[in-house]
Amino acid sequence: MLYQRSSALFKDAQEYIPGGVNSPVRAFKSVGGTPIFIKKAEGAYIYDEDGRAYVDYINSWGPMIVGHTHPEVLSATVEQMKNGFSFGTPTELETEIAKLITSVVPNIDMVRMVNSGTEACMSAIRLARGYTNRDKIVKFEGCYHGHSDSFLIKAGSGAATFGNPNSPGVTQGTAKDTLLAEYNNLDEVKALFENNKDQIAAIIVEPIAGNMGCILPEKGFLEGLRQICDENGALLIFDEVMTGFRQAMGGSQERLNIKADIVTFGKVIGGGFPVGAFAARREIMNHLAPLGPVYQAGTLSGNPIAMRAGITTLNIINNDRELFTRIDKATETLDVEISKILAEKGIANKINRLGSMMSLFFTKQDEINNFTAVTKCNHDSFNKFFHHLLANGVYLAPSGYETWFISDAIKDTEINKTLDAVRSFEI
């Protein structure tokens, strides 16, 4: 049996951890089968408890952009650890990472570090509400901004995978302040603003969506959101938890040349450690405690080891601007070659890609540009594809509602291994 030890570990885990996992999509519920328990990772590969190696396209759901256990990140964090693990006081490292982030991300003057993307987005909307003195927010169907209550309304991948778009436990009172629109549909956003005059604090959006599979913003969509916010005194929040330091050093703002008012980060910013951040212009950030009345705090926020891992990872990327060209090119090769192989087999498919994010949809639809289109794809075929690749040593995210993340450790050898696995796939 391929996954013998993983199966045994999963059985044990289910006794003590709900569903055997500490984050739902890890449970393989969407694709079926037993989750793989990972023991270690290096470069482009993760290694399971049964001793099998996999080319990794999850990369911890995005953070490991320079590959796993990068030697520079490893030695910097180990050195840092020798000074202590956590102090609960300011450290120079926090200013260093804030300087680095504000120097490369457009349109921001100040940064607040937190422990996850969830915290970053949750705090960003609180700040937007405090700044505008308004209660409502607009979010898009299929976009995920973490698991805080306001966002668990048609929240994309995890929730969609479990067929449970709105979570029980979120009160009606909270839900009523979250207005929903279809991704890439400006008319719906305009209608929400007309029907909720002077009540909307912010629009929060994944500028390149990754939580309903990879969905690209259509031409004019983000520009339209910018204009609607400006005309209505609302703030535009770009959730760059996935796209920050991945689509470009300055994230989607740089890649797509659009300015947001508040930007949230996670994933790459922590180099694999639990880190998130939110950032904005000074006049907005001045509203945050201890300068202003909007409260936000954290025992482990700005943890020195996590900061060191983040700084080192961001410096590696920043000092090697060819890195984005390389990972984008590797992703393009995967896109072109996988589409070709599947088309030759007569398997209808559509790949969405921007930079080093991509998703493969089994579908005859010409465009996959919103959540509804994703739900109409053939997810049974995706699930078969997933298991075939897994058995052939290639690890994709275990759901057709997810994005593949390509790291700089993925080279021709790994791409060829992936393409060989696709070649032997039969529907």
Ligand X SMILES: Cc1ncc(COP(=O)(O)O)c(C=O)c1O
Residues with active-site annotation: 144, 239, 267
Pairing of strands 235-239, 262-265: parallel
Q: Is 178 in the site for ligand X (CB under 6 A)?
A: no
Give the angle subtended at the CA of 243 by the CAs of 229 and 108, to the nearest 5°. 55
The Cα–Cα gap between 341 and 330 comes to 16
- The neighbouring-strand residues paired with 211 are 213
> Which residues between 382 and 401 bind ligand X (CB under 6 A)?
none
Asked if 310 and 64 count as a contact pair (C-beta separation under 8 A), the reply is no
Task: Please report whether residue 266 would count as binding ligand X according to CB under 6 A.
Answer: yes
Among 56, 206, 402, 414, binds ligand X (CB under 6 A): 206
Nearer Cβ to ligand X (48/206): 206
Q: Is 142 in the site for ligand X (CB under 6 A)?
A: no
Is residue 247 close enough to count as binding ligand X by CB under 6 A?
Answer: no
Q: Contact, 119 vs 276, CB < 8 A?
A: yes
Q: Does residue 118 interact with ligand X by CB under 6 A?
A: yes
**Does 207 engage in binding with ligand X (CB under 6 A)?**
no
How far separated are the first and last CA of the chain, in Å rounded? 23
Sign of the torsion angle spanned by Cα atoms 277, 281, 66, 417: positive
How many residues interact with ligand X (rule CB under 6 A)?
16
Residue from the set 56, 141, 239, 414 that interacts with ligand X by CB under 6 A:
239
Rule CB under 6 A: say whether 26 interacts with ligand X.
no
For ligand X, the binding residue among 93, 114, 200, 241 (CB under 6 A) is 241
Distance from the Cα of residue 343 to its chain's centroid: 29
Minimum Å distance from CB 197 to ligand X?
A: 29
Among 144, 361, 362, 404, binds ligand X (CB under 6 A): 144
d(CA 258, CA 247): 13
Task: Tell me how far CA of residue 291 lies from CA of 120, 129, 237, 282, 342, in angstroms.
Answer: 18, 16, 21, 11, 56
Determine if 245 is a binding residue for ligand X (CB under 6 A). no
- Tell me: does residue 117 bind ligand X (CB under 6 A): yes
Min dist CB 38 to ligand X, Å, is 18
CB of 124 to ligand X, least distance (A): 10
Q: Is 225 in the site for ligand X (CB under 6 A)?
A: no
When the beta carbons of 122 and 360 are compared against ligand X, the nearer one is: 122
Is-contact 138 232, C-beta < 8 A?
no
Q: Applying CB under 6 A, does 270 fall inside the site for ligand X? A: no
Q: List all residues 6 or more positions away from 238 whose beta carbon is below 8 Å from its beta carbon.
A: 205, 206, 207, 251, 252, 253, 260, 262, 263, 264
Of positions 30, 77, 80, 116, contacts ligand X by CB under 6 A: 116
Find the length of the chain.
427
The answer to the question of residue 238 lying near ligand X (CB under 6 A) is no
Cα–Cα distance between 306 and 273 in angstroms, integer?
5
Range 47-66, binding ligand X (CB under 6 A): 61
Looking at the Cβ atoms of 273 and 425, the one nearer to ligand X is: 273
237 in Cβ contact with 173 (< 8 Å): no
Q: From the CB of 398, what's the least distance to ligand X, in Å? A: 14
**Rounded least distance, CB 254 to ligand X, Å:** 17
244 contacts ligand X (rule: CB under 6 A):
no
Chain residues binding ligand X by CB under 6 A are 61, 116-118, 121, 144-146, 206, 210-211, 239, 241-242, 266, 276
